Amino acid sequence: KALGKDDFSKIPNGVNGVEDRMTVIWDRGVGTGKMDPCRFVAVTSTNAAKVFNIYPRKGYIGVGSDADVVVWDPEQSKTISAKTHHQAVDFNIFEGMTFQGVPFVVVSNGKVVYENDTLSVEKGSGKFISTPCFPDYVYNRIKIRDNIKPVKVEREPYTGPVIELKTENGTPKTTDNQQNQNGSTHQRPLTKSGLRNLQDSSISFGGDQWDDQPIRSSTRVKNPPGGKSTGIY
């Protein structure tokens, strides 16, 4: 395409395929079970019209739409060749390939333009159709995405009272029951900010267990003066 940066007429031709596109999609899509006939109509007609923003004028059969109809023969086969196609090129990328499913009759704007492999179109009978930019079928998703973006909320800085924690030597003051008694990994002391480090590991690689130093409640016993005695002494 760089050859035509100053003159578009010098851009090399692309590959052909418009004439045989529906036949190839039917054979490789519907014929192999990858899509059903309804999906075939959507791909080749309805969705294409929506992408070019000319739906429902095109791609739809109803009042107000153009009378463009294709009568499809799903049983007939066709071998594609550059010698028999109607395109104004001397090659075909599907040369020699046989496909099943061909158009039997094509009606354009209410007139039969193709029937029994015979093309009957008068020069100058075509009409220009405007294709507006930004079709909803393509850009609606982008519009919805932009509408649901998070909105920044501007707030005034907080000027109310703030709690003050008493500190001892630069560290928060803790009560006796908050002190680390046995130094195990399950009772780590508080940080300087007065909170526990929740990201710190509670696993001791030395093999310590949480019940190595169990807390025992006191038991009151009655023994004679001098200590406990036995049957021998």
Residue with tokens 């109803």: 62
- pLDDT attached to residue 180: 46
Q: In whole angstroms, give the CA distance from residue 83 to residue 94.
A: 12
Q: Which of 102, 100, 103 is nearest to 112 (CA)?
A: 103
Chain centroid to CA 165 = 50
**185-216 exposure pattern, b = at least 16 Cβ within 10 A, e = fewer:** eeeeeeeeeeeeeeeeeeeeeeeeeeeeeeee
Work out the burial of residue 46: count CB atoms within 10 Å of its CB; fewer than 13 is exposed, 13-18 middle, 19 or more buried.
Answer: middle
Instruction: Give the bridge partners for 72, in sequence order.
Output: 103
> What is the tens place of the pLDDT at every residue in 105-161?
999 989 999 998 888 888 888 889 999 999 999 999 998 998 898 888 888 988 888
Q: In whole angstroms, give the CA distance from residue 57 to residue 90.
A: 34
Residues of the chain with pLDDT under 70: 167-168, 170-211, 213-219, 229-233
CATH number for the domain running over 2-122: 2.30.40
- pLDDT attached to residue 117: 84
- pLDDT attached to residue 9: 86
- pLDDT attached to residue 90: 87
- pLDDT attached to residue 123: 83
- pLDDT attached to residue 181: 46
Please give the C-alpha separations between residue 233 and each of 44, 52, 78, 227, 228, in angstroms, as whole numbers. Answer: 109, 110, 118, 11, 10
Q: In whole angstroms, give the CA distance from residue 213 to residue 50.
A: 75
pTM across the whole model? 0.58
Residue boundaries of the structural domains of the chain: 2-122
- pLDDT attached to residue 161: 84
- Listed in sequence order, the DSSP H helices in 108-199 are 136-147
